[in-house]
Amino acid sequence: MKTSDFNFDLPAELLAEHPSEHRDEARLMVLDRKTETIEHKLFKDVVDYFDEHDLFIFNNTKVFPARLYGNKEKTGAKIEVFLLRELDKETRVWDVLVDPARKIRIGNKLFFTEDESLVAEVIDNTTSRGRTLRFLFDGSYEEFRTKLKELGETPLPKYIKRAVEPEDAERYQTIYAKIEGAVAAPTAGLHFSRHLMKRLEIKGIDFAEVTLHVGLGTFNPIEVEDLSKHKMESEEIIIDEKNADIINRAVDAHRRVCAVGTTTMRALETSVSSNKKISAFNGWTNKFIYPPHDFGVANSMITNFHTPKSTLLMMIAAFAGRDFVMHAYEEAVKEKYKFYSYGDAMLIL
């Protein structure tokens, strides 16, 4: 398989700038892998495809407001700082991306408040845009994190050209988000409303949770034609014993097991053993799933519509077959489905 096998024409107007008015009223394209048929529904109709004791597996990661704006010492130039991951809690050292990067060198200081209560010093270069910062803040760790939240902005993807709006703080977060650590939302889960969750519960559908802290690497473009040479960035996964047991019981009982989102699927495929059992897991994954791939746990999945040549599209193609998926995407463009983070959804059975 080559990167170019996953290219298609995506009109710019199909990239969703705003979420649907109600979470569960986005459009839903339903793909049946056995019959290779396609249906057009609303997301809230997802409940009709599942029965009692079928299982939904959610990624409960929580997005933190990762985008900050500071000023460079002396010049006062405005610099965007995107927090990627905390490297050391004690010394407040973080991996970040900076923009514009050419202006930021080791030894530079960035000021985030007028009273200079939060300052960062650049201590290393990691990539062309990547830097390591040490934050200087006179207060406890809890106060430091509170300050980052106060100053931070919801990290909407760069393709959304509009300014962040107050509703983004709520809508760019799943309703079941619990464990903070993601810099991008697990977007398939954004379509679940409290009302829909209650309807699933009443129908007797079971729920399990895993945690995969989504990093920006998920969205990195592939710059090689040979997929076997692409390296994914690592993301942190946590799956506890209780949820592993719920998942294994559903698999053993041959239930319909639905992975909500590509991040959930990556977490499952990282922690599944050769005998198709999920083990408790606490660690990191750089697993890249592309065709052909033998999936060990989920037999259905929910996902958004992804951009051309993306690793996410490749995973979907591995799950549902490349030709069928590319045909479905042609249909999605023709029917004007909305793509990407705030876009519409797909259910693959």
pLDDT for residue 233: 87
pLDDT in tens, 290-325: 999 999 999 999 999 999 999 999 999 999 999 999
Residues whose CB is less than 8 angstroms from the CB of residue 37 and which lie 6 or more positions away in sequence, other chains included: 31
Cβ–Cβ < 8 Å for 336, 10: no
Q: What is the pLDDT of residue 129?
A: 86
What is the distance of C-alpha 199 from the center of its chain? 25
CA distances to 148, 210, 233, 267 from 99, in Å:
18, 33, 20, 31
| pLDDT tens for each residue of 143-158 | 999 999 999 999 998 8
Crossing angle of helices 322-334 and 311-320, in 10° steps, is 120
Q: What does R_g of the chain's alpha carbons equal in angstroms?
A: 21
Reply yes or no: is the peptide bond before residue 157 cis, omega within 30 of 0: no
Side-chain-facing half-sphere of 291: CA atoms under 13 Å:
17
201 burial via Cβ count (<10 Å: 0-12, 13-18, 19+): exposed
C-alpha span between 47 and 35 (Å, rounded): 20
Rounded to whole angstroms, what are the CA distances from 141 to 90, 101, 133, 160? 8, 28, 16, 32
What percentage of the chain's residues is helix, strand, coil (to nearest 5)? Answer: 30, 30, 40
- What is this structure's pTM? 0.94
Within the chain, which residues score under 50 in pLDDT?
none
Domains and CATH numbers, the chain: 3-63+169-348 (3.40.1780.10), 67-151 (2.40.10.240)
